[in-house]
Structure 1
């Protein structure tokens, strides 16, 4: 029961404390890919903690101590409807865990299905009104507002308006389309869908709201960095300035938007990337956030297992 209490307390503290910790310093802008992983791991850790707490409360440590066969047998009995739980509190904990899983699954499904339908309708519109430019490798859309965006999905495509083509130099067009292709190759729409799922499933806690906004910013920084591997940063910055006011459909990823001007400064004055030691610390943080709740929940069972079996172990 101690492990369950620790996990619940961690979840309650982490939803408030983790955003403050992760917002410190400018490390995220120096390694946006790692920062995205840390934010998602933090959200997953907070959601997983009550689930593992429920399991720790429902499955007595002495059951684990007798071996995995006893655990599997108890789980099978629970799935078959047998009343094997030790207390009403354990049943309530499992019910709460089931509600959490159901809430996340429902919100995630609604987001994915809704976005897919919107993208399908937009793809049909592009088929009618747009034209594919083989030289650019993008769909050109007749529009009087300068914008560039990508339409994710199985047949993902980059889109640029005629107004953008008129206002951007050829090298700037190439740079901004490289940005959009980075979104498509990286499947950033799935990353944003995961962040949106957490925020919609749990709208109150600050961690999930902050993670959604921060991840939306970080995927743009990551796409900028990928584009900068093949195109001069000054061309990306110039394109961002001209596309800053361009609006892309909500279910797409656009090069402009409200973060464009801050990204211009980052392109023109790039920060020093994280060193190897700092990256290893970040990766260790991701591993700790993901594996920590399961490890804490397993401690009582593992301790009981060792206490039950170690007296049978002999060196000779």
Structure 2
């Protein structure tokens, strides 16, 4: 019996649900957020590739393509060979694979279009309501007339760092530099694209098997990376004070705020050592290992088929 399809189907389900739930409970990502983010990306990509690998294996089993790539069997013959229950199971799993692939493509398009539309509208609003025309020192900074401390960024081709008058007046120069450095780190690294990819992958898998742990953990990790970038500019103390001031900072959808529900975790992290080379190396090796098997399982069959077609022409 060929176990390729069920093995990769099980691997896809594990990487889409239980694996993110287990990793989200670990504390080591706080010390090595970059390596942890790479591992999360590897898990997400491996889950998608495993699902596609299972689909390819099932298609090969059901259709039995010949040297020209055309099917050499029929459903009735396969039902007779496999039995109706096994055939129905393979067809169901193959349909789920197609569903995941279609939902992934649709999610990428939908999330990308909706997010950019919201950002464009909000960018126009902050440009119109900007109060920093006189004292502005940077072309990407916009200041809103609000007493509450607010700090967030709008990624894209026309990037914006949005602050409020309350932020400008209540923070010291070092704290203001720290919070702006934090937001600009998001913009430079294009963390918004990472979030879009994980949001699309999260929505692609059926609700009964997917875990929100991956998306929530990635949101925290990119904040930690931006914090680390700001610490290099001002040190941990100004950033911690700025995060406390902006802890309740609201932000529109599609933007990335300095504050939020993870602010306390981030401030506590700034009080301890940051960075662990050994953990980072292990995480990078784990990410590579997780990607090897499903990537090869998907890539090799396609390369074989391409080679076969090239030789025939």
CA separation in 2, counterparts of 1:56 and 1:267?
A: 48
CA separation in 2, counterparts of 1:248 and 1:301?
A: 44
Contact persistence 2:15–2:44 (CA under 8 A): no
CA separation in 2, counterparts of 1:301 and 1:149?
A: 44
Moved more, 12-21 or 82-91: 82-91
Give the C-alpha shift of residue 49 in structure 1: 1.2
Secondary structure of residue in 1 paired with 2:153:
strand
Q: Superposition pairs for residues 277-316 of structure 1, below 5 Å?
A: 277-296=278-297
Q: What's 2:309 paired with?
A: none
Secondary structure of residue in 2 paired with 1:208:
coil
Give the C-alpha shift of residue 51 in structure 1: 1.2
- What is the root-mean-square deviation of aligned Cα atoms in Å? 3.0
Give the C-alpha shift of residue 172 in structure 1: 0.6
Contact persistence 2:129–2:144 (CA under 8 A): yes
2:187 maps to 1:176: no
Q: 1:154 aligns with which of 135, 150, 157?
A: 157
CA separation in 1, counterparts of 2:49 and 2:201?
A: 12
Q: TM-score, normalised by structure 2?
A: 0.82
Count of residue pairs brought into register by the alignment = 289
CA separation in 1, counterparts of 2:269 and 2:302?
A: 49
2:203 maps to 1:200: yes
C-alpha distance after superposition, 1:154-207 (max 9, x if no partner): 111211111111111111111100000000001011111111112222352565
Q: What's 1:308 paired with?
A: none
Q: What's 1:12 paired with?
A: 13
Contact persistence 2:246–2:259 (CA under 8 A): yes
Q: What's 2:112 paired with?
A: 112
**CA 293–33 in structure 1, closer or farther in 2 if over 3 Å, else same:** same
Q: What's 1:56 paired with?
A: 57
Give the C-alpha shift of residue 36 in structure 1: 1.4
Contact persistence 2:24–2:213 (CA under 8 A): no
Contact persistence 2:46–2:295 (CA under 8 A): no
Contact persistence 2:28–2:279 (CA under 8 A): no
2:33 maps to 1:2: no
Contact persistence 1:31–1:274 (CA under 8 A): yes
List alignment gaps of at least 5 residues for structure 2.
80-86, 304-313
CA separation in 2, counterparts of 1:175 and 1:114?
A: 30
Q: TM-score, normalised by structure 1?
A: 0.81
Contact persistence 2:9–2:51 (CA under 8 A): yes
Q: Superposition pairs for residues 191-270 of structure 1, below 5 Å?
A: 191-202=194-205, 204-205=207-208, 208-270=211-273
Q: What's 1:101 paired with?
A: 101
List alignment gaps of at least 5 residues for structure 1.
303-316
CA separation in 2, counterparts of 1:139 and 1:300?
A: 52
Give the C-alpha shift of residue 103 in structure 1: 0.5
Moved more, 15-24 or 161-170: 15-24
Contact persistence 1:43–1:208 (CA under 8 A): no
Moved more, 281-290 or 182-191: 281-290
